[in-house]
Amino acid sequence: MHELSVARALLRQVERLAGEHRALAVRGVTVRIGPLSGVEPGLLARAFPRAAAGSVADGAELRIESVPVRVHCEDCGAEGEAAPNRLACPACGSLNTRLAGGDEMLLVSLELETSDV
């Protein structure tokens, strides 16, 4: 259960960015989590409000974009989706692939409330 650590790290990032942009509050936080990132989206969703309590992001909505695992085949050049524990080329079945997506753990964007003046 390292999602609380991840949520706290996320919150420190959010606080820094909110400070830099002189935000009054953070209304929304969008992250992108791939199946091979090691982060369980459901646990992160539960940990975030606890980490954010009392901060500038208290009550912010956490939106989690999920993305599939994608591989690029070094043998036939095809690219497509694969299971997290079977990174075979969807076209030719080769295991000579590299990951093209699915291990993302990104802060995508923030929705900031700022003073208009």
Partner 1 sequence: MCDTCGCSITPGNRKSAAAIHALPVLEGLLAENDRMAAHNREHFARHGVLALNLMSSPGAGKTLLLEATVEALKGGLSCAVLVGDLATDNDARRIAAHGVPAVQIGTGQACHLDAHMVHDALHGMDLAGIDILFIENVGNLVCPASFDLGQHDNVVLLSVTEGDDKPAKYPVMFRAADLVLLSKADLLPVMDDFDPARAEAALRGLATDAPLLVLSARRGQGMAGWLDWLRERHAALRQPRLAAARPHFGVLRA
**Residue 56 vs 71, nearer CB to partner 1:** 71
The CA-based dihedral angle spanning residues 110, 67, 4, 19, taken in that order and rounded to the nearest 10 degrees: -10
Closest CA to 51 of 113, 109, 2, 9: 9
Residues making contact with partner 1 (CB under 8 A): 1-2, 5-6, 9-10, 12-13, 17, 21, 24, 27, 31, 34, 36-39, 71, 84-88, 95-99, 101, 103-117
Taking the complex as a whole, the smallest distance from the CB of residue 51 to partner 1 amounts, in Å, to 12
Count other Cβ atoms within 10 Å, centred on residue 15. Answer: 16
**Residue 54 vs 115, nearer CB to partner 1:** 115
Taking the complex as a whole, the smallest distance from the CB of residue 76 to partner 1 amounts, in Å, to 14
**Residue 53 vs 93, nearer CB to partner 1:** 93
